[in-house]
Amino acid sequence: MRGSFITFEGGEGAGKSTQAVALAKKLATMGIGVVSTREPGGSPGAELVRHVLLSGAAKPFGTDAEAMLFAAARADHLDTLITPSLENGKWVVCDRFVDSTRVYQGVLGKAGWPFIKGLEKLSLGEGSPNLTFILDLPADIGLARAHERRGEGAPDRFESENLAFHEALNEAFRDIAQREPDRCVLVDANRPKDRITADIWRLVRKRLHPETAPMTIEEIAR
């Protein structure tokens, strides 16, 4: 039986990584084989592209080129990690995925929607997530959280955009959640971590029924 594919999306510092880790742990305690991954990156080929993108090295080529690099990295990530894992019955939890490309390169980077959609079709195939949590947090709070976590380190290519950019980004994520309610759930991320984790778990149980997932080979062999 194919596993479920869950993604976390939202602005900088919204708590995606925190919640992705918490969910993966919870699934693992149920005996489900979980693969935790992230974008950009997630596979050796895609991690190379991640470095190019986040260093800003691709920025001079424009958002169309950036979007193509994200798509190339995603195709590799799907082919080498996500799809084989799902086919083996594992559940995949991914920190950022296709909605981040739609928002950062599409809505905000001004790569046209037909272009973004075309790239999605090429890179995604059947690899759409079963469930996507969109963490919604006022941009100033998210940036302050990200800044605190980073300490004195330099902000990356996207963190260094201005507040209006980050507010527009949140708006674009909310728009996706509204348009695709079957796949997406908007989560109020301006709450204590544990409350958010509990809500996410309730929704995973309701929508994906992890209690009916078969144990993985490794679990059975234990």
The CA angle 24-52-156, to the nearest 5 degrees, is: 70
Nearer to Mg ion, 16 or 102 (CB): 16
Minimum distance from residue 107 beta carbon to ligand ATP (Å): 17
Nearer to ligand ATP, 16 or 90 (CB): 16
110 binds, among Mg ion, ligand ATP, none (CB under 5 to 8 A by kind): none
Q: Which of 7, 14, 15, 17 binds Mg ion (CB under 5 A)?
A: 17
Minimum distance from residue 105 beta carbon to ligand ATP (Å): 16
Instruction: Judge if the upstream peptide bond of residue 40 is cis by omega within 30 degrees of 0.
Output: yes
* Interface with ligand ATP (CB under 6 A): 10, 12-18, 145-146, 149, 191-193, 196
Minimum distance from residue 146 beta carbon to Mg ion (Å): 8
Minimum distance from residue 95 beta carbon to ligand ATP (Å): 6
The one segment of 9-17, 104-112, 133-141, 211-219 that binds Mg ion by CB under 5 A: 9-17
* Contact between 37 and 92 (Cβ < 8 Å): yes
13 binds, among ligand ATP, Mg ion, none (CB under 5 to 8 A by kind): ligand ATP
Nearer to ligand ATP, 56 or 118 (CB): 56
If DSSP states are collapsed to H, E and C, what string results for the chain? Answer: CCCCEEEEEECCCCCHHHHHHHHHHHHHHCCCCEEEEECCCCCHHHHHHHHHHHCCCCHHHCHHHHHHHHHHHHHHHHHHHHHHHHHCCCEEEEECCHHHHHHHHHHCCCCCHHHHHHHHHHHHCCCCCCEEEEEECCHHHHHHHHHHHHCCCCCCCCCCCCHHHHHHHHHHHHHHHHHCCCCEEEEECCCCHHHHHHHHHHHHHHHHCHHHCCCCHHHHHC
14 binds, among ligand ATP, Mg ion, none (CB under 5 to 8 A by kind): ligand ATP
Nearer to ligand ATP, 126 or 148 (CB): 148
Enumerate residues 6+ apart whose C-beta is below 8 A from 62: none
74 binds, among Mg ion, ligand ATP, none (CB under 5 to 8 A by kind): none
Nearer to ligand ATP, 51 or 149 (CB): 149
Minimum distance from residue 158 beta carbon to ligand ATP (Å): 8
Q: Which residues bind Mg ion (CB under 5 A)?
A: 16-17
